[in-house]
Amino acid sequence: MTIENSRWSQEFPKIGIRPTIDGRRKGIRESLEEQTMNMAKAVAALLSETLKYPNGAPIECVIADTCIGGVAEAAAAATKFAKSCVGVSITVTPCWCYGTETMDMDPSTPKAIWGFNGTERPGAVYLAAVLSGHAQKGIPAFGIYGQEVQDAGTTDIPHDVQEKLVRFAKAGLAVAQMKGKSYLSVGSVSMGIAGSIVNEELFQNYLGMRNEYVDMSELVRRIDEVIYDPAEYELAMSWVKENCVEGPDNNPASIQTSREKKDQDWETVVKMSLIVRDLMVGNPRLNELGFGEEALGHNAILSGFQGQRQWTDHFPNGDFMEAILNTSFDWNGKRAPYLVATENDSLNGVAMLFGHLLTNTAQIFADVRTYWSPDAVKRVTGHTLEGAAANGILHLINSGPAALDGTGEQSRDGQPVMKPHWEITDDEVEKCLEATSWRPASLEYFRGGGFSSDFLTRGGMPVTMSRINLVKGLGPVLQLAEGYTVDLPADVHKTLDDRTDSTWPTTWFAPILTGEGSFTDVYSVMDNWGSNHGAISYGHIGADLITLAAMLRIPVSMHNVAKDQIFRPRVWSNFGTSDPEGADYRACTNFGPLYK
């Protein structure tokens, strides 16, 4: 078994479809059986044709064996779902049903209800009644109600209903895929960064995840005792020599390391990549080599590497390891990223995980380094910012861990994108590699040496930057900013980039402004960002992130998503409709973490 096959050996969570019906026999129920079951089949077809798991396979839906007219059939559906690895439920109906008798009572499963908008039967009445029951019992559910009246018997799903079904399903599957997985902390706190103080309450109570810990000395042990696949190591080294171009050494000549030391660093960073991946997900090859315990891994869907400074003062830095694992390809070909948070910033890691599970794409990890105003750019370079950048830009830059997908060298319809791994072509892999150089690490930062990835993200990509922050007494909060990557003239980029560390990858980001609050101007976005890091995901996924956060009971403190795109459980409106942001905080506080 290959490592990729073993990585996906656990069953993915499925979506359970619950067709509910008026339980009255001798005419009413019988007349509705076919329409109700067809609604369930139509939803299952829509979701299976639209969404994919991280390995590229279509998502699977499980439909209850019968329509659900009362508590006995509800229990039978729950039993089937439990045996079928269902982690998300969607209830559908065209008619009145007995609300609390037919509802899904599992408090930890994300759930939505689509009540058919038709005049022949009161599906909308059931929707309102059962959502009231969910609110009264403290089990929030998402209500889906189409804007237009449909004719009885139609099998079409209106566009607005489709949009909500897909948004709910994406977020619900993200919740279900995190449950039971691990965050692997390799090392401890990096340079006093609060995000690398791993908060077990966040992972266990809000995300349903375990916390696993490994000292960085484990990498030394595995390197010294050759606890990795030697054959894969040789393959990886050959691939690196052929595809990873070493850039110029920016260190002063007096402290530059020798060619021999650089070659040794390459060997070490490749071994580090193999070892951290194996620590996360295991490797069946290790069992064949006599390392049965190490072959199992830590079932980690996400990890973090402390690096600085206890590691990097002596050993090569983790930049190559983080960059290549976060990327959608390596020496074994194209594959889903292995998410690794630099500096063990677990909070930014969670934002990366959210973005990846919602999009199946690689994530860019970066410092939210600098706000450049139009006046400051003009003063320093003589250039007038224009287009998406006209109001100013944020310089997103960090040492190494940004996925190579972040070069923007993948394309769709002639535009730069970041794709799920199964859509990436061999030519696009080559372009991402060609756009990246590996600079010898700045020895003032990284005394142990190593290499940092250096690239410039192409402009024109819609992206969303997000971050989880922890606030004492409040808990986790999510913030996000939708915007675009932007191109600058080469000389302007160089002038600005040279003012920081030009060995690191740069993304120029222009957030979309609303003229209000944190999005009054670009400065306000920077000024209100909650930490030094941000996770950048391809696409404008702010609405999906808001839905996901509501499922987990994490309030959103900052966003620039249009109000008509925000989709939360119906009970949120009971906490106030004139102040949606405040209602979100009150609802999350009231219901508490999903798994507590």
Residues annotated as binding site?
Answer: 343, 367, 533
Catalytic positions: 343, 367
CA distances from 517 to 399, 462, 503, 510, 520 (A): 31, 22, 35, 17, 5
Is the link from the previous residue into 309 a cis peptide, with omega within 30 of 0?
yes
Residue entry with tokens 């439990």: 82
**500-538: string of b/e by CB count within 10 Å (b at 16+)?**
ebbbbbbbbbbbbbeeeebbebbebbbeebbbbbbbbbb
Q: Across-strand partners of 150?
A: 118
> How many CA atoms within 13 Å lie on the side-chain side of 304?
32
Sign of the Cα pseudo-torsion (189, 190, 194, 196, in order): negative
**107-144: string of b/e by CB count within 10 Å (b at 16+)?**
eebbbbbbbbbbeebbbbebbbbbbebbbeeebbbbbb
> How many CA atoms within 13 Å lie on the side-chain side of 50?
17
- Structure token digits, residue 395: 């310089």
Residue entry with tokens 């756009």: 435
Q: Are 363 and 326 in contact (CB under 8 A)?
A: yes
Q: Which of 29, 32, 45 is nearest to 153 (CA)?
A: 32
Q: Which residues contact 376 (CB under 8 A, 6 or more apart)?
A: none
Q: What angle do CA 466, 111, 49 make, to 5 degrees?
A: 75
Q: In Å, how far from its chain's centre is CA 425?
A: 22
SS3 501: coil
Q: Are 233 and 246 in contact (CB under 8 A)?
A: no
Q: Are 280 and 297 in contact (CB under 8 A)?
A: yes
Q: Which of 337, 227, 351, 203 is nearest to 287 (CA)?
A: 227
> How many whole angstroms separate alpha carbon 454 and alpha carbon 503?
5
Q: Are 572 and 142 in contact (CB under 8 A)?
A: no
Pairing, β 393-397 against β 364-372: antiparallel
> How many whole angstroms separate alpha carbon 279 and alpha carbon 30?
55
Q: Are 367 and 396 in contact (CB under 8 A)?
A: yes
**Which residues are annotated binding-site positions for Mn(2+)?**
343, 367, 533
Between helices 159-178 and 28-50, what is the axis angle to 10°?
Answer: 70
Q: Are 441 and 314 in contact (CB under 8 A)?
A: no
